[in-house]
Structure 1
Amino acid sequence: MYIIENANILIDRKLTTCSLLISDNRITKIQPCFNHYRVMKMNLDPYIMTPSFVLFNSKIPYKESFQALKNFLIDHFLLKGCTTLLTYVDVSYENELTEKFKGMKTALVGCPVDFIIGIRIPVRLITPSLMRMCRKEKIPAIFVEVEEPGQLENVPWGWIREAIFPFNSPLIPKISSSQKKEERAVLSKWKGIMVKEKIPAIYEEIEENQPLCTAILNKIGLYPQRASLMHGTELSYNLYLKGREINNVDEVNLFHYHGDRLVVTVHKGKIVRTGAKVLFKPGYGEHVKVQTLSYFSL
C-alpha cells in the first residue's frame, strides 16, 4: 500500500489536484490528502497525470513476425501512452467468425498492452443468426462496412434488435471509400435508422490512432474499467511534465501535440515506459472480456 499525493489529474480539460491511496495496483480511495497514513508516499506535483489511453487501430500486423508486431506495438501504443487497444477482424461469412476471432486472440496472447477485439462485416451480414453469434462470443463492437446506404433499409431491424439483446453490441459505421464524398449524408441516414429502430450503435466513424472518448468507451463496455482514474479502477496512467503551454489543453491535445512531455506510462501498477525507454513485457496485456456494455448512462 502507498499514496500518490499532489496528483494533478487532467480529465475533460479540468485539472484536479488530489491524493490516491493505492493497494494491489488499484485505486482504493481518493481524497484531497492523507495526512495520517504512515505508508510510502510518491509526490507527483511536477507532473500532469492522465488515465492511459485506449486507441483504435485496424491494421495490427498480427500475422507477421514477433519482432514486427513488437515494433508496431511499441511505436503505435506504448510510446504514445496507450495501454489498451481496440481492433477488429474482417468477417465475410458467418462461419468465419469464431475461427477468425480466436485467431486474432491467440496471435495477441503475447501482447504487452490489453486488447479488445471486434469484427467488421458488410451490411448483408447484419442477420439475426450472426448477431446471436456475437452475443454468444461477447463481441463488444461490430463495425459495419457501408457501401450502399440503401442496403440498410432492407435489414430486418426488429429481429436484429431481439437477437442482439441483452448483450447489445453496438453497431459502428465504416464508410467505404466509394461513399466518402457522401459521408455526411450516409452517416445521417445511418443515425436516423439506428435511432428509429432503437439499435445500440455509434453514430460516427471511430477515428484510428486517436484516444477514444468516454462515450465510445462506455458503449463498448471499457469505461470505467479502462481510461479512468476512479475509486476501484486499476492503476494505469501517464505523466506529462507540467508547463505553461499545456495548462489549458485536453487529453487529446496532449496526445497529439505534447508527446515530447510524456515521461512515464504505468500499466496496471507497473512502469512500462520511462522517458524514451519502453519496458516491453510480453504477455502482460490481457484480452479484455467485456461483461456489460453501456455501463454508465452518459
Structure 2
Amino acid sequence: MIAFKSVKWGWIKGLLLDYPITFIPFFTTKLDKKEKIKHLKIWQKTMEFEKIPHFSEEIPQKVPMSIEKLKKIGIYPHRGNFLSGGEISYNLYMKSEELPVPDSDSFHYESHELKCTMNRGKYYYLHDQGYFYPGAGKELRIQTPGFFN
C-alpha cells in the first residue's frame, strides 16, 4: 500500500486529458475481507480526490458487466449495437441441465455451454463445430500515447 500512496496521481491525471481511461482496482494477492475493504476505501478516496475516472470495486471474472460499467470504459454503445445496419458480435450459451446454478441472478460459465459465436453477421462456432473464413479478420489499431507504453 505504501507503493500505491507514492504514485504521482496528479501527473497521471494530467496525462489523462488527451487519452482518458478508466482505472479499475485489481489485487494480485489474496487479502482477507477486512483488509480488502480497507484498501478499496483508500483506492476510492484517492481516485475521487484526484478526480480520476475509476471503478470502486474489482471487476468479477466470468460475470457479465453492467451497461453502466460498459459505458464508463467506452465499450457500449460503440463496440456493438442492435440498431438497423449495426454490427454486433456475441456468444450464445445454453444452460447445462447437469449442473445446478447456485445463484440464478448471475451468469456462471461453468454451468453453460457455448452454442454459437457470431461476428459481423457470420457464425464462427455453431452446433459444436468451428468455421473459418479466410480474410475475414480485421486489423484493429488502437493508438495509445507513448507515456502508456
Range class of TM-score, shorter chain: 0.5 to 0.7
**What is the distance in 1 between the residues matched to 2:140 and 2:70?**
13
Post-superposition Cα deviations, 1:93-116, rounded to whole Å, max 9, x if no partner, equal: xxxxxxxxxxxxxxxxxxxxxxxx
- In the alignment, is residue 272 of structure 1 matched against residue 132 of structure 2? no
Q: Once the 2 structures are TM-superposed, how far is the Cα of residue 220 of structure 1 from its aligned partner?
A: 2.7
Correspondent of 1:226 among 72, 76, 79: 79
TM-score by length of 2: 0.67
Q: Once the 2 structures are TM-superposed, how far is the Cα of residue 187 of structure 1 from its aligned partner?
A: 1.3
Matched letter for residue 164 of structure 1 = L
Which residues of 2 match residues 81-230 of structure 1 at below 5 A? 148=1, 150-177=2-29, 180-181=31-32, 182-226=35-79, 228-230=81-83
Matched letter for residue 197 of structure 1 = E
Q: Kindly tell me: are residues 226 and 167 of structure 1, through their superposed partners in 2, closer, same or farther at Cα, counting changes over 3 Å? A: same
- In the alignment, is residue 256 of structure 1 matched against residue 109 of structure 2? yes
**What is the distance in 2 between the residues matched to 1:175 and 1:283?**
39
Q: Which structure 1 segments of 5+ residues have no match?
A: 1-147, 243-248, 292-298
Q: Once the 2 structures are TM-superposed, how far is the Cα of residue 281 of structure 1 from its aligned partner?
A: 4.7
Post-superposition Cα deviations, 1:36-66, rounded to whole Å, max 9, x if no partner, equal: xxxxxxxxxxxxxxxxxxxxxxxxxxxxxxx
**What is the distance in 2 between the residues matched to 1:211 and 1:219?**
15
Matched letter for residue 165 of structure 1 = L
Question: Aligned Cα RMSD in Å?
Answer: 3.2
Partner of 2:89: 236
**What is the distance in 1 between the residues matched to 2:138 and 2:42?**
37
Matched letter for residue 68 of structure 2 = A
Post-superposition Cα deviations, 1:132-170, rounded to whole Å, max 9, x if no partner, equal: xxxxxxxxxxxxxxxx2x333322322221112132112
TM-score by length of 1: 0.37
How many percent identity over aligned positions?
33
Matched letter for residue 190 of structure 1 = W
Q: Once the 2 structures are TM-superposed, how far is the Cα of residue 282 of structure 1 from its aligned partner?
A: 6.8
Larger proportion of helix? 1
Asked if 2 retains the 8 angstrom alpha-carbon contact of 1:190 and 1:203, the reply is yes
**How many residue pairs get matched?**
133
Q: Kindly tell me: are residues 171 and 288 of structure 1, through their superposed partners in 2, closer, same or farther at Cα, counting changes over 3 Å? A: farther
Larger proportion of strand? 1
